[in-house]
Chain A
Amino acid sequence: MKTMQKLRTLILAGGMLTLAGTAAMAEDSYKIGVSEPLSGAASSLGVPVVDSIKAAAEVINANGGVDGRKIQLVIRDDQSRPDIAVQNFRRLSEEGVYAMIGPNQGSNTLAVSAIVKQAKVPTCAFNNTIAITKQNNPYIFRCQTSDADNVKAALLFAHDKLKAKNIGVLYTSDAYGSDAYAALQKEAEAMGMPVVGAEKVNYGATDTTAEWTKLLATKPDVVILWGSGSTMSIALRNASQLGNTAPIIGAQGVAASAIIEGAGAAAEGIYMVTLTAPDQVTEGQKDLAKIYKEKNGDDYQLTIYDTIGWDALHLVAKAIENAGGDREKMLEGFEKISNYQLAAGTYTYTSDNHEGLGVDSVWIVQVKDGRMIGVQHGL
């Protein structure tokens, strides 16, 4: 009995100590909330992003933190689901975080938008979805390129480098594809390149031959392929089976190694609009590349997900610095970030531009011998 009591006291005391420990830690550290898909359909994006956020935190803290105070990450899994993302954002904002990082899916960002606005916590969101910065919500900052800029880059490349007089478009009927198509139509018209054919396929479609047949009958100079997931590698195979010779420019969603591998020889020669060229290390990627090569071997090539998580935490750190460590001034802190060169590109935010990256950060990559090779940086 006696020993039991002693044990209990010990445990209690221990618990108090840990509590006191976290309290002290919380006081002289900046808490940053992270809500990312660590399980579910989008986990292949969320896991590397969180790893790179952690890598950034280690580096920032090892160099003395922000103004001498350490960064403390509070990481939550949103299970790739909007309802869990909303829960995470609500809880994290109640915990008094300085900023939020996430979500990874555009629809989830739209779902948490209202809470972000209500809690007034600046949020770094990793989406191409054009609409996320059009919510009349000053607290959402895009830490990716907008698809408005991505389609512009694709069209500029088609026009200037591939000398296209007209274009055809194959896109998915989800928000990712159709929003980009709407932006593309306007942009192409402004450049004087008519869209001669545009076909829609469903996300997850298992055959696109009929759509390609209709599209290729319009004889486009260049085909723009906008979508994500398994359907994109099927689309590349179908196009090659039908004997398509028009160059293809794919979206960021096409520039995934699983899709390129799945398309095999059919992916050879296609171009994609993305934020990293696997074979090249830019100035802003040097520190990050060094850390990842030490961890994963010299052959390791940075992916887009390795870079955007790293960038997001550096942006948050910069914003805290700009705000002088005052949580109330975080919004101004973000909007003071200007020409900040990081791994995925150069970020600038102002009170009426929350896009962060522009066409100058876009990479055009091309598949050669099954690997993605950087062709052009910035358009």
Chain B
Amino acid sequence: MDAAQLLQFAISGLTVGAIYALVGLGFNLIFNATDVINFAQGEFVMLGGILASIAIGQWHWPMWLAILTTIAAVGLVGALVDFGAVSRVRRGSVMTIVMITLGVSVMIKTAALLWVGPNPLYFDPFTAGPPLRIFGAVVQLQALWVIGTGAVVMAGLGLFFSRSALGREMLACAIDREAAYLMGIDVRRMVRISFVLSAALGALAGVLITPLTNATYDQGFTLALKGFAASALGGFGRSGSAIVGGLALGLIEAASVVVMPSGWKDSVALLVLILVLVVKPSGLLGGRAERRHTQAL
């Protein structure tokens, strides 16, 4: 194993990790506003990938138009999920809403299968051309897009939650829903906005990763699992945690391929997650774990 190969493992770990991070960001967004883990998050990512593939590959739309339309369309799906299901539950516990998101994820997945069938969809990377070579290791150009956009989105979300009135209202809902309500914050509106935002963010993730991963109707669950693991590893409730957790998870997976038979990759990654959570339940960065768990609505 020479240095170029080790570097290659690190780069492929970071590429995969950036994908997990991007998916994990969406989890954090809804969690921040509602305390709910949205199990349909992976489906938002899958929908983003599939819609963009169809718009670019089959309808031959210009890429920017396809991407914007996809993000808007999936954002609308997020609004519908809240309008049609989540907001209908009065006094539902966090658990009820989690179960609703699970049901929604099955519905979206089945609809996608009936619509586009089981074959993988794909479109070409944003920037054409051969991959970059750094000291003999290969970097895919699309991976740079994933990492770059992930960093921009994380910075944007950080500003949104700390500086904007809307972001702070959302955060207030998560910290104490009843108190936020008594302070005149429209809790339902905050929940709806968080669903729209995280669906749009999921769609953006789907659009960015499809040139690397393909888009298939059944990949939502795997992506959600890894994104969830990334958020948990970093610590739920902070935008930076998904990035740190995602990159760490990707690197752990790549490292496990170096030292172990490759079939163990996923098990090793999840084992490390469990170990970290046992030692430090609030994640690597420390989330808002001590916070009281409130009623969802």
Contact = CB atoms under 8 A, between A and B. Distances in A.
Interface in A255-294: 256, 258-259, 261-262, 264
Contact of B262 (A211, A229, A230, A262): A211
Interface string B1-26: 10001001101110110010000000
B262 A233 contact: no
A229 B219 CA distance: 11
Nearest to A265: B124
Nearest to B12: A209
Interface of B is mostly: helix
Contacts of B253: 210
B122 interface: yes
Contact of B9 (A40, A213, A229): A213
Contacts of B263: 173, 200, 202
Contact of A230 (B1, B117, B219, B258): B219
B127 interface: no
B8 to A, nearest CB: 5
B68 interface: no
Contact of A204 (B5, B140, B222): B222
A243 interface: yes
Given A206-B212, A206-B219, A44 B119 contact: yes
A179 interface: no
A210 B257 contact: yes
Interface in B152-210: 209
Contacts of B122: 233, 261-262, 264
A200 B291 CA distance: 42
Interface residues of B, number: 39
Contacts of B140: 241
B218 A214 contact: no
B212 A207 contact: yes
A305 to B, nearest CB: 13
A242 to B, nearest CB: 6
A333 B78 CA distance: 59
A201 B262 contact: yes
Contacts of A41: 113, 118, 218
Given A210-B262, A242-B8, A230 B222 contact: no
A217 B213 CA distance: 23
Interface in B105-131: 113, 117-122, 124, 131
Interface in A210-268: 210-211, 213-214, 217, 229-230, 233-234, 241-243, 256, 258-259, 261-262, 264
A213 B120 contact: no
A213 B214 contact: no
Interface in B238-264: 253-254, 257-258, 261-263
A241 B138 contact: yes
From A41, A204, A211, A213, name the one whose CB has the most chain B CB atoms within 10 angstroms: A213
Given A41-B218, A206-B219, A213 B212 contact: no
Interface string A19-54: 000000000000000000000111110000000000
A213 B6 CA distance: 9
B282 to A, nearest CB: 29
Contact of B258 (A173, A207, A214, A234): A214
Nearest to A234: B214
A202 B266 contact: yes
A44 B262 contact: no
Given A41-B118, A200-B263, A230-B120, A207 B16 contact: yes
A321 interface: no
Contacts of B34: none
Contact of B257 (A40, A214, A233, A243): A214
B216 interface: yes
Nearest to A259: B120
A262 B8 contact: no
Contacts of B213: 206-207, 234
A43 B115 CA distance: 13
Given A241-B138, A259-B120, A209 B219 contact: no
A241 B131 contact: yes
B219 A233 contact: no
A201 to B, nearest CB: 7
A314 to B, nearest CB: 28
B266 A200 contact: no
A229 B117 contact: no
B19 to A, nearest CB: 7
A43 B262 contact: no
A108 to B, nearest CB: 15
Interface string A181-220: 0000000000000000001111010110111011001000
A26 to B, nearest CB: 34
B242 to A, nearest CB: 17
B267 to A, nearest CB: 10
A234 B265 CA distance: 17
A115 B237 CA distance: 52
Nearest to B257: A210
Interface centre among A41, A210, A256 (most CB of B within 10 A): A210
6 contacts: A44-B119, A206-B16, A207-B212, A210-B262, A213-B9, A230-B219
Given A43-B117, A217-B5, 11 more contacts: A44-B119, A173-B263, A199-B257, A202-B263, A209-B11, A209-B12, A209-B15, A210-B8, A210-B254, A211-B257, A214-B5
Interface of A: 40-44, 173, 199-202, 204, 206-207, 209-211, 213-214, 217, 229-230, 233-234, 241-243, 256, 258-259, 261-262, 264
Interface of B: 1, 5, 8-9, 11-13, 15-16, 19, 113, 117-122, 124, 131, 138, 140, 209, 212-214, 216, 218-219, 222-223, 253-254, 257-258, 261-263, 265-266
The 6 A-B residue pairs with the shortest CB-CB distance, nearest first, are A230-B120, A200-B263, A258-B119, A206-B213, A209-B12, A210-B257
